[in-house]
Amino acid sequence: MIRPAAGADLAALGLLWERYRVEAGDTRFVDQAGWGSWVLPRISAGDVRVGTTDRTVNSYVAWQRATIADPGEGRVLRILELYVHPDGRGQRLGSGLLARAIDAARQRECRAVVLVSNIADAGVLALVEPFGFVLHDDALHLALQRE
């Protein structure tokens, strides 16, 4: 099941983040408190989704809407973190979380979705390829069609 994250998920998300940090080599935060300060406003804004199996939170995606400096680009949704615990892999949680992020981008009238985290990982590439993401500069990009 995939649902919006809530403040009550913070402890479970923190444990997932620790594992993500090690696997992805993410060095932006030195401790969980710093990461918690970063993720709480995103939870409040509705910009974090969690995946669960057997009521256990074992995956998440966090995004942020941004405006690109190039006026032709317009608004994009930047996926900042997308992680599925090894125990939850192979259950389509990653693709479900990615689909929710893409839906959020469309709802917010973004022109593209950009994945900036851990893009060299073979698992990430296998996950995003069916959605049509392409490598551009230092990120994976998905252009969205206007409906």
Q: Which two tokens stand for residue 106?
A: 């469309």
Residue 138 pLDDT grade (very low, low, confident, very high; cuts 50, 70, 90): confident
Among 40, 56, 36, CA closest to 48: 40
State pLDDT tens for residues 80-129: 889 999 988 888 999 999 999 999 999 988 999 998 766 677 888 889 99
Cα(94)–Cα(128) distance, rounded to whole angstroms?
9
Q: Tell me the C-alpha to C-alpha distance, in Å, between residue 42 and each of 4, 6, 76, 111.
A: 11, 10, 16, 21
Q: Which two tokens stand for residue 85?
A: 């615990």
Measure the CA angle with vertex 36, ends 17 and 109; round to 5°: 85
pLDDT of residue 118: 67
Cα(59)–Cα(85) distance, rounded to whole angstroms?
6
CA 113 to centroid of chain Cα atoms:
10
Burial class of 24 by CB neighbour count within 10 A (0 to 12, 13 to 18, 19+): middle
Average predicted confidence (pLDDT) for the chain: 87
Residue 55 pLDDT grade (very low, low, confident, very high; cuts 50, 70, 90): confident
Q: Which two tokens stand for residue 147?
A: 């409906």
Task: Give me the CATH code for the 2-143 domain, please.
Answer: 3.40.630.30
State pLDDT tens for residues 15-53: 999 998 888 787 877 788 888 888 999 999 999 999 998
The domain spans of the chain are 2-143
> Judging by DSSP bridges, how do beta strands 112-115 and 75-84 pair with one another?
parallel
**DSSP-H helix ranges across the chain:** 10-24, 32-44, 93-107, 122-128
